[in-house]
Chains A and B, each alone.
Chain A
Amino acid sequence: MPHDSDDHTHAHSVLPSDATLRVKAIETLLISKGLIDPAALDAIVDTYQNKIGPKNGAMVVARAWSDSAFYDTLFYDTTETVADMGFYGRQGEHIMALQNTDEIHNIVVCTLCSCYPWPLLGIPPSWYKSDAYRARAVREPRKVLAEFGVTLPSETSVRVWDSTAELRYFVIPQRPKGTEGWSEKRLAALVTRDSMIGTGFPKDAQ
């Protein structure tokens, strides 16, 4: 906040929030003991703020829609297959792709905390981490889906998958109609984050 008014000056610096000071305290202590590297912390923040996000997962989905051999290997060994595309690393050690069909709609939650396939989807949104979603996705998935605007025919089963620190899931939604012959890049633009969690559909072909 700029302080350029003559009648509103601060003799001292603005005090950060209590949480900011507590995080600074942990950092200071561990740096002084030589246990952590401040540059590594900056690099991690930069990676998740700027480099990793749902666009990675969208590329995987678009390829699965376009390439039947890739589609088969993706469900045979998801972790290895997405690693070949360069999507691996922390919280992506064991990933399993889930296939949405006319018969089955998959939805992912983490009832323990917020386990999520970071290399493919980045950091989870607030609602994924909320108590409400974590509790209700298991108890009343159809109601939760309806609140996200996802209504399914009664003959479609809903399967809820509980991610853990050991195994994280992501959904391969059904390919939108009218996209025959589209390039992977064009297809990827239709894939939303929520469609890879199961709480949304891909965008329609326009």
Chain B
Amino acid sequence: MSAPPPEPVFEEVWQGQLFALTVHLNESGYFSWSDWAKKFGTSLNKHGVDRALNGGEDYFTVWLDALEEFLIEINMTGRKDLVLIKEAWKTAYLTTPHGAPISLK
């Protein structure tokens, strides 16, 4: 079995990070995988109503939507905090000279 896999496990770096984040939170005991699967399954159905998901990037985009909502529902974070930190990262990228390490102020 030395042949490479026919497609990468994760098409984008963020998809792998999102996957790992969800697995880690489950293993740390913050939620059961069954509860997560129900939440994610419901989100997939909801999104699939408008157009069929191809199982690639759109699948992980729904995963991301579902995880954000789930973490808010179980009081691990708040919508406002998520938006504020995302915007802070955006600012950090836009104000850090190219090549310099990027960090939150």
Contacts and interface: CB of A to CB of B under 8 A. Distances in A.
A91 interface: yes
A19 B16 CA distance: 12
A130 B55 contact: yes
A19 B85 contact: no
B1 A189 contact: yes
Contacts of B44: 112-113, 131
A157 to B, nearest CB: 27
Contacts, number: 168
A20 B13 CA distance: 8
Contact of B28 (A15, A21, A36, A130): A36
Contacts of A152: none
B97 A113 contact: no
Nearest to A125: B7
B25 A22 contact: no
Interface in A23-78: 23-30, 35-37, 40-42, 44-45, 48-49, 53-55, 58
Interface in B39-98: 40-41, 44, 48, 52-56, 59-61, 64, 67-68, 71, 76-77, 81-83, 85-86, 89-90, 93-98
Nearest to A112: B41
Interface of A: 3, 9-17, 19-30, 35-37, 40-42, 44-45, 48-49, 53-55, 58, 90-91, 112-115, 122-123, 125-133, 164-166, 188-189
Interface of B: 1, 5-7, 9-14, 16-21, 23-28, 30, 33-34, 36-38, 40-41, 44, 48, 52-56, 59-61, 64, 67-68, 71, 76-77, 81-83, 85-86, 89-90, 93-100, 102, 104
23 contacts: A11-B97, A13-B99, A13-B102, A21-B86, A21-B89, A29-B81, A30-B76, A30-B77, A35-B30, A44-B19, A44-B23, A48-B19, A53-B5, A90-B26, A90-B27, A113-B44, A114-B55, A123-B10, A130-B55, A130-B59, A131-B44, A132-B54, A133-B55
